[in-house]
Amino acid sequence: MKIAIGSDHAGFAYKEKIKVLLKELGHEVKDFGTNSTEACDYPDFIRPTAEAVAKGEAERGIVLGGSGNGEAIVANKVKGVRCALCFSRDTAIWGRSHNNANCLSIGERTVTAEQALEIVKLFIETPFEGGRHERRVQKIEAA
């Protein structure tokens, strides 16, 4: 699977760990930055990550920051992106299975590195259930 990833300075450390995990799992990773913990403006890195998903250049996107909230907001402004802010096993599973999220947002200040890696793995591996959830997602996207 092709996965786009981007973060601001507050999500940089987890981004680097997640890239290692994704490559170990056999995925192709496109990193949209940032490349350090030096303060930066998160939309500069999050929007291009989300746009790669919307354009079909990546099947999934992962965005990271301090809380993950701003990153999810920016990603969700891109038409065709459904970004889920996840902070637990359940939110990762539900984001995929119920909402067919194609982008994941994680806050480095909200979960441990181990939890973040587990969330990523679940998000990547969980299928969309379809059915009534699919009709709801289609209705939202049409609006």
**Contacts of residue 75, Cβ cutoff 8 Å, sequence gap at least 6:** 46, 47, 49, 50, 61, 63, 81, 83, 103, 105
Active site residue 98: yes
Q: Which two tokens stand for residue 28?
A: 């192709």
Cα–Cα distance measured from residue 141 to residue 70, given in angstroms and rounded to the nearest whole number: 21
Active site residue 71: yes
Q: Which helix H or strand E contains 107, and what residues bound it?
A: strand 103-107
Q: Which helix H or strand E contains 87, and what residues bound it?
A: none
Q: Which two tokens stand for residue 5?
A: 């990833």
Residue of 9, 51, 71, 108 marked catalytic:
71
Residue of 59, 98, 118, 133 marked catalytic:
98
Radius of gyration of the chain (CA): 14
**Counts for the chain of helices (H) and strands (E), in that order:** 6, 5
Q: Which residues are catalytic?
A: 71, 98
